[in-house]
């Protein structure tokens, strides 16, 4: 065993030119740069503490009124040279279930061609929906689907 260890030491010294191998030093950075663009008044590079969070970065950024932070986890840890784009809020028009076309109804989550036809047929047969929850009277639309689409519905 000692023979193998000695051979390894000799081989390493031989490859290194018989020079003493100095340990590799890793220096810790004192700050990270993160580039920010999008819905901000002051785009550019921002200095944060190493492995700072999105929340800490946003303290330095001047956001537009229509900036959409809902896409971010504010506890996300950032890294050196990350690029963050702050999106603009997009508002989707509500779909009037009493007047929507087949195509408009199909823009709703979980509403395909068949379900859009059922909604229109129900509306034509029974008249206008009186409240949003009435859409659950349409065959195939239950609580789970209603929860997914209710934010986009109006009368």
Q: Mind listing the pLDDT tens digit for each residue in 92-127? A: 778 899 999 999 999 998 899 999 999 999 999 998
In this prediction, residue 155 carries a pLDDT of: 86
In this prediction, residue 27 carries a pLDDT of: 79
In this prediction, residue 76 carries a pLDDT of: 92
When comparing pLDDT for 136 and 7, which is higher? 136
Q: What are phi and psi of 17, to 5 degrees?
A: 75, 30
Q: Sign of the C-alpha dihedral, residues 59, 65, 66, 70?
A: positive
> What are the E-state strand segments in 4-94?
32-38, 44-48, 83-86
Instruction: Look up the CATH superfamily of 95-154.
Output: Photosystem II 12 kDa extrinsic protein (1.10.150.320)
Partnered with residue 45 across adjacent β-strands are 35
In this prediction, residue 91 carries a pLDDT of: 76
Asked whether residue 24 carries a pLDDT value surpassing 80, the answer given is no
pTM above 0.75, yes or no: no
Q: Which two tokens stand for residue 97?
A: 């279930």
In this prediction, residue 74 carries a pLDDT of: 92
Distance CA 52, CA 32 (A): 8
In this prediction, residue 12 carries a pLDDT of: 58
> Tens digit of pLDDT for each residue in 29-87?
889 999 999 999 999 999 999 989 999 999 999 999 999 988 889 999 999 999 999 99
In this prediction, residue 15 carries a pLDDT of: 55
């Amino acid at each position: 065993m000692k023979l193998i260890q000695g051979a390894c030491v000799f081989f390493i010294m031989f490859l290194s030119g018989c020079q003493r191998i100095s340990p590799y030093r890793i220096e810790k950075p004192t700050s990270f740069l993160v580039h920010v663009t999008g819905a901000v008044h002051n785009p550019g590079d921002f200095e944060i503490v190493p492995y700072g969070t999105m929340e800490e970065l946003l303290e330095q950024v001047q956001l537009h009124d229509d900036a959409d932070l809902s896409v971010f986890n504010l506890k996300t840890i950032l890294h050196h040279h990350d690029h963050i784009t702050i999106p603009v809020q997009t508002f989707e028009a509500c779909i009037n279930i009493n007047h929507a076309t087949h195509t408009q109804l199909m823009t709703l989550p979980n509403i395909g061609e068949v379900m859009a036809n059922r909604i229109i047929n129900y509306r034509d047969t029974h008249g206008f929906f009186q409240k949003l929850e009435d859409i659950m009277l349409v065959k195939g639309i239950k609580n789970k689907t209603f929860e997914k689409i209710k934010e986009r519905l109006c009368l």
